[in-house]
């Protein structure tokens, strides 16, 4: 004989497909979250380059002529809020260069 608790457990268990159909993802929010995560990954890579060179945020900020909190903000993934000049200064202060590309789908134009 099946107990009441076993019947309740069967009623409570649902497939992932059923759950997903009842609450579909909010695509706009998913896209925004993916964008934030990607920015954080890119910023983390920049931080790794700085650390490989043995520089502190304060030292890099001095090279860039900005404040340490500005460097910290970039390294936390606030790349969208930073101007291109700030990102360029960060990369160049580490000895790199920035290439800006305009992508038009069927062709790309290197701007600088």
Q: What is the 3-state secondary structure (H, E, C) of 50-84?
A: HHHCCCCHHHHHHHHCCCHHHHHHHHCCCCCCCCH
Query: What per-residue confidence (pLDDT) applies to 31?
Result: 87
Mean of pLDDT values over 11-30: 83
What domains, with CATH codes, occur in the chain? 4-110 (1.10.260.40)
Query: What per-residue confidence (pLDDT) applies to 106?
Result: 95
Is residue 82's pLDDT more than 70? yes
Q: Taking Cα atoms as reference points, which of 74, 81, 78 lies closest to residue 57?
A: 74
Mean of pLDDT values over 19-27: 84
Average pLDDT in the chain: 87
Mean of pLDDT values over 73-82: 86
Inter-residue long-range contacts of 12-17, CB under 8 Å, 24+ positions, other chains counted? none
Q: Is 79 left (phi over 0), alpha (psi -120 to 50) or beta?
A: alpha
Query: What per-residue confidence (pLDDT) applies to 3?
Result: 63
Where does the pLDDT of residue 79 fall: very low under 50, low under 70, confident under 90, or very high at 90 and above? confident
């Amino acid at each position: 004989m099946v107990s009441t608790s076993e019947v309740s457990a069967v009623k409570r268990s649902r497939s992932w497909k059923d759950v997903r159909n009842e609450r579909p993802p909010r695509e706009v929010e998913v896209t925004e979250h993916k964008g934030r995560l990607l920015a954080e990954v890119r910023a983390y890579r920049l931080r790794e380059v700085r650390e490989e060179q043995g520089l502190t945020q304060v030292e890099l900020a001095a090279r860039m002529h900005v404040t340490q909190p500005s460097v910290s903000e970039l390294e936390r993934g606030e790349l969208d809020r930073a101007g291109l000049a700030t990102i360029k200064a960060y990369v160049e202060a580490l000895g790199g260069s920035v290439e800006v590309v305009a992508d038009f789908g069927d062709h790309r134009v290197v701007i600088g």
